[in-house]
């Protein structure tokens, strides 16, 4: 493929920006044609298995499409988009997440461990958050934040489907979080908003938005975001910075400026991950710190995914000054311990409809009429914009408790007193997901509907009919 052809791109795509091509030709030299040639190929589709619910081997036995293993991680695969894995009921049941293979590297390099407190600072739509949740294996707490008021609900929905029980979902400005959580987290991930050059193949519209000025403005915002995130890392903790751009101004240069002013952080040597190649300090300056090469780049002409950059740093100094400024009270209801009357309603529901009491290891908390299970050592969230302060269990009505979809997706089928198993190709399953009422003789009460043994959602049976409680926003025509 010639540079001229690449500038025009595929017939359905806008042309690649000429200044971008000129810069990449200068940086890559002899390997520039390989990058250009990658634009002739469709982007790869990645699938990551939800190890909170199943194993890669078990999923491979039941899915009706091929899974091609990736060396990147045992839970990582390639799939064919023509098989429409996102429309399968197993996706609705949260058995896997569809994610660009290169995007999986950030969590693998951050390496969160069970029991830790981890913050994903700019998290929507939730790919990296769900990966972190799986790696925490239900132990510790995942704090996942998105400042955009609409995108945060996409994040919340994906974590709900994932069955994450130990996630706190926030809708806050990073600076406000830094005021509250100085030196608080074991690991912090900054998936920084960027110019998106690494997605030019996957998202051709990004080509129209790109300008050299956009690269410059992104770098300014990234400097501020990284400094804010660093304030929340505990001594000995890790800070990961990730982008999906090739621009050195947004990658190596941002890290170089950060290390020059943050002497209590140092680069961490990455594990050997397939498809990851050392970053390029020489693209910043001839005398740039050689340690910048510990950051990694992922290229579409080297690995199966799109373009990414990841740098991991460790805090080697003492604790930062603890400010812990209390934010003004948010409009959302305050999170308070659940009163005995509410706890009694919840336990009555569990005694009648479940075989266990989900969330009893944590603290039951109430936000308005929403009941949550919080970690045993809940963080101070007062005054912050909180979407979910923990695992959402359900809604407390005047004299009863109604379970949430998040509760259903966080259970195992054995946790329910009554279940109805549906085959993936069962017409009844698709009717349920449309919100239809199903004929279903049996005792009255809440029923957990499952697909291949995995929870899909609630139904309520009465008079031989099962009313779908599948969320209206998720229903399919």
Q: What are phi and psi of 291, to 5 degrees?
A: -65, -20
Dmax (CA) for the chain in angstroms is 77
Secondary structure (H, E, C), 156-191: HHHHHHHCCCCEEEECCCHHHHHHHCCCCEEEEEEE
Q: What is the pLDDT of residue 334?
A: 84
The predicted pLDDT at position 6 comes to 43
Provide φ and ψ at 85, rounded to 5°: -65, -25
Q: Bridge partners of 461?
A: 445, 466
- Residues 6+ away with beta carbon under 8 Å from 78: 44, 45, 46, 47, 67, 68, 70, 101, 304
pLDDT recorded at residue 51: 98
> Judging by DSSP bridges, how do beta strands 233-243 and 185-191 pair with one another?
parallel
Determine the pLDDT at residue 360. Answer: 84
How many Å is the Cα radius of gyration of the chain?
24
Residues catalogued as catalytic:
244
Structure tokens at 454: 């995995």
pLDDT of residue 476: 86
Domain limits, the chain: 3-35, 42-98, 101-315, 335-409, 417-474
What's residue 122's pLDDT?
Answer: 98
Smallest CA-to-CA distance from 105 within 68, 71, 81 is with 71
Distance (Å, whole) CA 335 – CA 345: 18
pLDDT of residue 447: 98
For residue 450, the model assigns a pLDDT of: 98
In CATH, what number does 42-98 get? 3.30.70.1170
Distance CA 150, CA 134 (A): 24
What CATH code would you report for 417-474?
2.30.130.60
- Chain centre distance of CA 166: 13
Would you call the peptide bond into 39 cis, given omega within 30 degrees of 0 as the criterion? no
Print burial letters for 288-299: b (CB count within 10 Å at least 16), e (below 16).
bbebbbbbbbbb
Count of CA atoms in the C-beta half-sphere (13 A) of 443: 8
- Tell me what pLDDT residue 419 has: 98
How confident is the prediction along the chain (477 residues), in pLDDT tens digits per residue?
334 334 444 557 899 999 999 999 999 999 999 999 999 999 999 999 999 999 999 999 999 999 999 999 999 999 999 999 999 999 999 999 999 999 999 999 999 999 999 999 999 999 999 999 999 999 999 999 999 999 999 999 999 999 999 999 999 999 999 999 999 999 999 999 999 999 999 999 999 999 999 999 999 999 999 999 999 999 999 999 999 999 999 999 999 999 999 999 999 999 999 999 999 999 998 888 889 999 999 999 999 999 999 999 999 976 555 444 454 444 556 899 999 999 999 999 999 999 999 998 889 999 999 999 998 888 889 999 999 999 999 999 989 999 999 999 999 999 999 999 999 999 999 999 999 999 999 999 999 999 999 999 999 999 999 999 999 999 988
- For the domain spanning 101-315, the CATH number is 3.40.50.150
Check for a shared fold between 42-98 and 417-474.
no
pTM of the model as a whole = 0.94
Query: What pLDDT is attached to residue 7?
Result: 45
Q: Which residues of 147-176 are buried (b: 16+ CB within 10 A; e: fewer)?
A: beeebbbebbbbbbbbbbbbbbbbbbebeb
């Amino acid at each position: 493929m010639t540079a001229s052809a690449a500038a025009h791109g595929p017939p359905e795509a806008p042309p690649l920006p000429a200044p971008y091509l000129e810069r990449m030709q200068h940086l890559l030299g002899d390997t520039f044609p390989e990058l250009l040639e990658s634009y002739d190929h469709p982007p790869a589709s990645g699938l990551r298995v939800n190890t909170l619910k199943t194993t890669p081997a078990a999923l491979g036995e039941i899915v009706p499409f091929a899974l091609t293993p990736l060396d990147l991680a045992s839970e990582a695969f390639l799939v064919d988009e023509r098989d429409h894995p996102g429309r399968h009921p197993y996706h609705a049941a949260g058995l896997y997440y569809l994610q660009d293979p290169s995007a999986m590297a950030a969590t693998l390099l951050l390496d969160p461990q069970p029991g830790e407190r981890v913050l994903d600072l700019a998290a929507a739509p939730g790919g990296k958050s769900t990966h972190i949740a799986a790696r925490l294996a239900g132990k510790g707490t995942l704090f996942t934040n998105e400042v955009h008021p609409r995108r945060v609900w996409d994040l919340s929905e994906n974590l709900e489907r994932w069955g994450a029980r130990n996630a706190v979902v926030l809708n806050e400005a990073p600076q406000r979080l830094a005021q509250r959580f100085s030196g608080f987290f074991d690991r912090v991930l900054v998936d920084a908003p960027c110019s998106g050059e690494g997605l030019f193949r996957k998202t051709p519209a990004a080509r129209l938005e790109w300008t050299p000025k956009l690269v410059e403005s992104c770098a300014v915002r990234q400097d501020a975001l990284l400094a804010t995130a660093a304030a929340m890392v505990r001594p000995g903790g890790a800070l990961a910075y990730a982008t999906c751009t090739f621009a050195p101004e947004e990658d190596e240069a941002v890290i170089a400026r950060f290390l020059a002013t943050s002497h209590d952080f140092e680069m961490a040597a990455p594990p050997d991950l397939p498809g990851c190649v050392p970053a390029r300090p020489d693209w910043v300056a001839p005398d740039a710190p050689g340690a910048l090469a510990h950051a990694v780049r992922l290229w579409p002409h080297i690995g199966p995914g799109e373009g990414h950059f990841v740098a991991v740093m460790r805090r080697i100094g003492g604790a930062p000054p603890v400010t812990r400024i209390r934010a003004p009270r948010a409009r959302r209801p305050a999170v308070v311990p659940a009163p005995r009357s509410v706890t009694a309603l919840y336990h009555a529901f569990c005694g009648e409809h479940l075989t266990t009491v989900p969330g009893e290891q944590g603290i039951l908390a109430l936000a308005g009429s929403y009941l949550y299970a919080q970690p045993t050592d809940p963080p101070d969230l007062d005054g912050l914009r909180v979407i979910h302060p923990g695992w959402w269990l359900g809604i407390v009505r005047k004299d009863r408790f109604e379970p949430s979809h998040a509760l259903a997706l966080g259970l195992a089928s054995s946790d329910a007193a009554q279940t109805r198993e549906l085959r993936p190709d069962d017409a009844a399953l698709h009717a349920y997901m449309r919100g239809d009422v199903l004929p279903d003789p049996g005792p009255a009460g809440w029923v957990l509907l499952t697909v291949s043994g995995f929870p899909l959602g609630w139904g309520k049976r009465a008079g031989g009919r099962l009313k779908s409680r599948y969320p209206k926003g998720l229903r399919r025509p």
